[in-house]
Structure 1
Amino acid sequence: MTTASPSVVVFGSLHYDIMVHGPARPRKGETVTGDRWHPKCGGKGGNQAVSAAKTGIRTSMIGAVADDEFGRALAENLCRNSVDHRFVKIVDGVGSGMSVAIFDSEGDYGAVIVSGSNLTLGQSDVSGAAELFTGNGVLVLQNEVLEHANVSAARAMKSAGGRVILNAAPARPLSAELAKLVDIIVVNAIEAEQFADVAVVDTLRGALNAAKLLAEKFPVAVVTAGGDGVACATNQGEEFSIEPIKVELVSTHGAGDEFTGVLAAELAKGAVIEEALQAANLAAAKLVSLGG
């Protein structure tokens, strides 16, 4: 059964992020003196849901948090950003997901993630949120929950006639079962090197080559190449690149999630893939120039 309006459903991770800023990221055994820190509600799933909702599309989150301060903050953040969080469950015996991200003076970062409650997601959560899976829905998945959970969600959306976007980050091997359920795969340059089995993706031309290789396995493949732009290829032989938007970089944190969330929203609204990618690219450029 199809609902009256298009929607985005995000199935996946919620993390409470601790953001630390310093002159450089520490090497092994090194202590670096930072200059500031602040908390931020995140997780790839949570970020993508908020980014989609900001476009005005009806957006729902299926996730898991613990009954702790981090979990309450994550739920409140979704509510504050107009994300339907009725299907974000509260679990016992494990903490909410969290991460620590360390930023250097150039705005790049490295992070450590503790998945916590996110690893409890599974078939029962998909079944409990059955009303969200509709023929005009777009489901967004990431690799911060267990593979079998993603398969369950993807199967439900495909059975309803909707579309599935997989932001395959962090990179890990994908099962054949999940791969066949994915309509659009979104990866960055580093992830593209692993999934497309190419040595280096460090130019827009290289990103397009990787996208073409990935399009042999997925209907649509999108490779984001940071400051070099975005490349896309389809299994129907269509291919194109989008040039980067020049901005003054403040921070790259969350850019990929902003891109994916806006991409899903625009597709749900009826945009064709190139139009949706243009909008997503612009949104990510604005985010990195504002520092999230």
Structure 2
Amino acid sequence: MSDYTPPKVWEPKESGGKFAKTNRPVAGPTHDKALPVGEHPFQVYSLATPNGVKVGVMFEELMALGKEAEYDAWLINIGDGDQFGSGFVEINPNSKIPAMVDHTGETPLRVFESGSILIHLAEKFGAFLPSDPATRVETMNWLFWQMGSAPYLGGGFGHFYAYAPVSIEYAIDRFTMETKRQLDVLDRRLAETEYLAGDEYTIADIATWSWYGQLVLGRLYDAAEFLQVESYTHVMRWAKQIDARPAVQRGRMVNRTFGEPETQLHERHDASDFETKTQDKIGG
């Protein structure tokens, strides 16, 4: 039990922990820094967190379909505070990755929030968002379910289980309970259908796999055993099926700065970069 009593007025203080310096109680830039701009129509500014992986996978899936979706992916290192640079804040006032600028029209469009980016690209290229009204609605249902649920998984379970400077039993139990409930929601749905919206792979799967698929595959928080993920047999089947897609394998490498060197592509500017510019090829 804790004897902490909240004060009448909260004041910020150093909390410690791995990501303590990535958050602050005010918005806006902390320093002037322009964003780089490459030669392709789409400029992505991101990091290979689960939300960032969504966008890398989406672009690689579009490229695999032969769409004219070439893109530059620039690294935003949130540990260094890149998300608080003036250029990044201009395209995402919320200072969170991923963010993107679409230069295909007369006026560049900023697109922020991973779900908004997925919808924008799906509608622009007519891919991974079904035209059938009922299936489209079901896709949106699951996409927004993921967007609303992820804070419990990442900001809640992931934070208190893996990153908090102290272990708090109540907090871990609270968010573990919710994470397992969400996995059960997914498992029940995927017992009925191949993919979340039905028989078709959609942006709902891309978004949800980036969080829950990677979780059950043991890539988030080192928590697979703790959560008994093997018991969610339908989620495991779906996660492995999506993980086998070549575009997914490429997409999760984009803006990745951790893991084995051969899985890290800090920046992506050409399709050939996956073969020539991973960290095992260039060192560092």
The alignment's TM-score, normalised by the length of structure 1, stands at 0.30
Relative to its length, the structure with more helix (as a share) is 2
Relative to its length, the structure with more strand (as a share) is 1
| Greater RCO (CA < 8 Å, at least 6 residues apart) | 2
Which structure has the bigger radius of gyration?
A: 2
